[in-house]
Amino acid sequence: MTKQIEAKSSIQVIERMMSLLGALSGHDSPVNLKQLATETRLHPSTAHRILAVMVDNRLVDRIEPGTYRLGFRLLELASASAIALGRAPLISTPP
Whole-number Å distance between alpha carbons of 42 and 12: 12
What are the strands, taking DSSP E only, across the chain? 31-32, 60-64, 67-70
pLDDT interval class at 65 (50, 70, 90): very high
Q: Is the pTM of this model over 0.95?
A: no
- 59 contacts 74 by C-beta, under 8 angstroms: yes
Whole-number Å distance between alpha carbons of 95 and 46: 40
pLDDT interval class at 42 (50, 70, 90): very high
Name 52's bridge partners.
none
- 72 contacts 58 by C-beta, under 8 angstroms: yes
How many CB atoms sit inside 10 A of residue 85's CB? 7
pLDDT interval class at 2 (50, 70, 90): low
Q: What pLDDT score was predicted for residue 92? A: 73
Mean local confidence (pLDDT), 13-27:
97
